Chain A
């Protein structure tokens, strides 16, 4: 599995997965967390477009909630997926750094 099926939601999906790696959160908490950590503000439409895709791919799952703000958490598949993607990113970063250092 990769981010290719997420289209323009691949970056927001990565932000959401990383945010949820720190614990279950509802939509607004995710928005705040992502904005604080990365300085990126996801719009409501983008956020829920990505959430819907991640839930459909069973990478995240909703939790029961007393109010309308439904929290989400990573599934075991989501944890594995996030590890793979971060490893890929680390590889890209390492190669990029090596090449820049050679210049």
Chain B
């Protein structure tokens, strides 16, 4: 039976493939392939994910892989929670929302509790981001510094973007709070300029940081 064996091997976890891929592929090439073998390999691959059973080097690679997965998951969860919290906070200050809650006295007392929970959650998420993210950022910067000083320039892009956007955001919010009636065309120009800078900074930061992160991940995987 002709079958794409490379695809089948890709079902197995990376650490397992690092250790057994070559000999497993040789076995598949050598032995007659039965339809039942397809199911057997799929079941084996499913089993190999929770029980890769790879010796030392592969085990370390797997540990790093899982650690990285957990870090990415935690980061995404924190960002999602932070985003949800900010959205909720903004919604809660919205005039329509406040008016709506006034019409629902039965549910209104629940709002402060929700607000408190969200505030605590956002604080915890931010602290988690700082605690978890700072060592990673420090390790990346140290690696960049030890391998090639010029890599540091790339990290300057997201940092500078952040340094420009943060005060810019505060200025715009301050202008909004002062209720200064800006001419419509100037307000539109400000808004569009800010949006363009924001999107441009995000693209530039991602473009500058991605190769460095990829290189760092590859280095960790080779460790």
Contacts and interface: CB of A to CB of B under 8 A. Distances in A.
Contacts, number: 73
Interface string B39-65: 111111101100111110000000000
B24 A48 contact: yes
A39 B64 CA distance: 41
Interface string A53-75: 10110000000000111100000
Nearest to A28: B30
Interface in B98-151: none
Contacts of B18: none
A50 B151 CA distance: 45
A22 interface: no
Contact of B20 (A31, A46, A52, A67): A52
Interface residues of A, number: 20
A44 B22 contact: no
Contacts of B16: 52
B159 interface: no
Place the interface of chain B in its size category: 20 to 34
A49 B47 contact: yes
A26 B31 CA distance: 12
A52 B52 contact: yes
Contacts of A31: 27, 31
A53 B53 CA distance: 6
A58 B182 CA distance: 76
Contacts of A27: 23-24, 26-27
B54 A56 contact: yes
Given A52-B53, A53-B53, A68-B22, A46 B44 contact: yes
A48 B44 contact: yes
Contacts of A96: none
Contacts of A45: 37, 40-45, 47
Interface of A: 26-28, 31, 43-49, 51-53, 55-56, 67-70
Interface of B: 16, 19-20, 22-28, 30-31, 34, 36-37, 39-45, 47-48, 51-55
Given A44-B41, A48-B27, A55-B55, 4 more contacts: A26-B23, A43-B34, A45-B45, A52-B16
